[in-house]
């Protein structure tokens, strides 16, 4: 796949020369691993923050080894490359006091600390919030956990599929005649990352008028409950639990997957007006629009099965291209059911510049999935490929902390960098 990148995807459009970034000058010390934390700090890096990823020297972030790997680099698997661009890596063995001393110096001059270790780990390192606040009262310290940092479940570990299961999300999805299903995408990690980004930015804004930083916490389980959507409030209103309906909406009709002559597609008639336009302008069926039962959302929901059968009979007579043109003209929300591969190559993705190729020091070029954020005055930074373990260790110690060669060599001799950092060639 990598050898066809140049044929399929363009390089990203460079940002305007000299344009500022939204988070220029912001320094983030990143103790995160796996998905939620690294993705959150990547969003900050995209907006111009200097994100320094602290990793163990031997293996680094364990997400590095999730397949498929990048060419000959077993430590740069696809999921890691996807969630760690625009960062600098500092490899330190935090079990050594010399490494902790380096980290404390970095935190003293930083704006944000983000961590998602198990509860208590940062405190054992002497890097809990209170210790960091003593070093730097302005620090915004964000802890990401599974079930919170206090209370009876603070010790529990949690991963995305567990949060999906325990929040009710799995039970909501799938078909009524079988077990619920999880989303293949790490939706809880991704949504938690978005919450972390919002929380950190809000705390930084608060710092501008309160004069000091604060402790911020985001829990995976809390976010997962939010991600069940308004099903929570529907249950609290009625006492009833959500019933799985597969691809069909429980709230609107017709909303679901239909089949044209050559392509499955999804339509979402979110209100009565959209259904009327579908019947009149797309299907040429004024009888459906005039039916007093079908004209009302609740009537359509009650007769969903018969209505879907009628619609599929009609849609099956023409191609998707035919129906797509008519539905676009009638302003009917619709879209073909695509694979991931098809989505990445779709005209909409190309028009938005979502998939590009960017330089890589070993592999030549690697694919990149663009951030969905667009700024008019402070464009995102040009994407830089995810770093190797400890790639920037010497550079960071020299430029940020002013260490000279002798001090760096002494640290290397103490083992804080492990075996990966070649001080002599840095």
Cα distance between residue 118 and residue 158, in whole Å: 9
CB 244, CB 209: distance < 8 Å: no
Cα(108)–Cα(417) distance, integer angstroms: 21
Helix axis angle for 405-414 and 393-401, nearest 10°, is 130
With H, G, I as helix, E, B as strand and everything else as coil, classify residue 277: helix
Q: Is 145 helix (H, G, I), strand (E, B) or coil?
A: strand
State the first-to-last Cα distance of the chain, in angstroms, to the nearest integer.
Answer: 32
* DSSP codes, 323-349: HHHHHHHTT--EEE---HHHHHTSHHH
189 as an active site residue: the answer is: yes
Marked catalytic residue, from 189, 222, 241, 325: 189
Strand partners, 30: 53, 114
* 290-297 LR contacts (CB < 8 Å, sep 24+): 296/272, 297/252, 297/253, 297/271, 297/272
Identify the H or E element spanning 216: strand 215-219
Sign of the dihedral through C-alpha 167, 172, 176, 178: negative
Please name the residue that has the structure tokens 């995807």: 9
**Using the 8-state DSSP alphabet, how is residue 217 labeled?**
E
d(CA 51, CA 421): 19
As a whole number of angstroms, the distance between CA 43 and CA 150 comes to 27
As given in the structure block, the two tokens for residue 245 are 């309906």
Q: How many residues does the chain have?
A: 426
Cis link prior to 74 (omega < 30° from 0)? no
Contact yes or no for 221/167 (Cβ under 8 A): yes
**Do 44 and 51 touch, CB atoms closer than 8 A?**
yes
- Helix, strand, or coil (residue 86): coil
Return the structure tokens found at 358. 């960017």
Active site residues: 189
């Amino acid at each position: 796949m990598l050898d066809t990148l140049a044929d399929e995807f363009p390089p990203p459009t460079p940002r305007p020369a000299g344009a500022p970034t939204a988070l220029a000058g912001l320094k983030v010390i990143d103790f995160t691993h796996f998905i939620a934390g690294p993705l959150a700090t990547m969003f900050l890096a995209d907006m111009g923050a200097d994100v320094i990823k602290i990793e163990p020297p031997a293996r680094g972030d364990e997400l590095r080894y999730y397949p498929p790997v990048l060419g000959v680099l077993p430590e740069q698997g696809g999921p890691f490359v996807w969630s760690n661009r625009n960062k600098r890596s500092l490899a330190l063995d935090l079990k050594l006091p010399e490494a902790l001393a380096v980290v404390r110096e970095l935190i003293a001059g930083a704006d944000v600390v983000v961590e998602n270790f198990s509860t208590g780990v940062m405190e054992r390192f002497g890097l809990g919030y209170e210790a960091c606040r003593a070093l730097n009262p302005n620090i915004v310290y964000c802890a990401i956990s599974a079930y919170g940092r206090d209370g009876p479940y603070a010790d529990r570990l949690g991963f995305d599929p567990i949060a999906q299961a325990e929040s009710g999300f799995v039970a909501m999805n799938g078909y009524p005649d079988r077990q619920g299903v999880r989303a293949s995408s790490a939706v809880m990690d991704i949504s938690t990352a978005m919450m972390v980004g919002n929380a950190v930015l809000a705390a930084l804004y608060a710092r501008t008028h309160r004069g000091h930083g604060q402790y911020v916490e985001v829990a995976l389980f809390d976010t997962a409950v939010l991600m069940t959507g308004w099903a929570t409030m529907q249950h609290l209103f009625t006492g009833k639990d959500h019933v799985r309906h597969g691809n069909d909406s429980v709230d609107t009709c017709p909303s679901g997957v239909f089949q044209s002559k050559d392509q499955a597609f999804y339509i979402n008639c979110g209100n009565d007006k959209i259904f009327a336009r579908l019947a009149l302008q797309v299907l040429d069926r004024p009888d459906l629009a005039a039916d007093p039962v079908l004209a009302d959302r609740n009537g359509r929901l009650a007769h969903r099965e018969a209505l879907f059968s009628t619609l599929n009979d009609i849609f099956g007579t023409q191609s998707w291209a035919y129906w797509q043109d008519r539905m676009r003209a009638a302003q009917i929300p619709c879209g073909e059911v695509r694979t991931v591969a098809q989505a990445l190559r779709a005209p909409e993705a190309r028009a938005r510049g979502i998939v590009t190729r960017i330089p890589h020091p070993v592999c030549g070029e690697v694919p990149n999935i663009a951030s969905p954020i667009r700024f008019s005055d402070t464009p995102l930074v040009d994407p830089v490929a995810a770093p190797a373990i400890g790639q920037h260790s010497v550079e960071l110690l020299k430029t940020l902390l002013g260490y000279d060669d002798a001090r760096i060599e002494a640290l290397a001799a103490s083992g804080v960098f492990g075996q990966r950092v070649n001080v002599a060639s840095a």
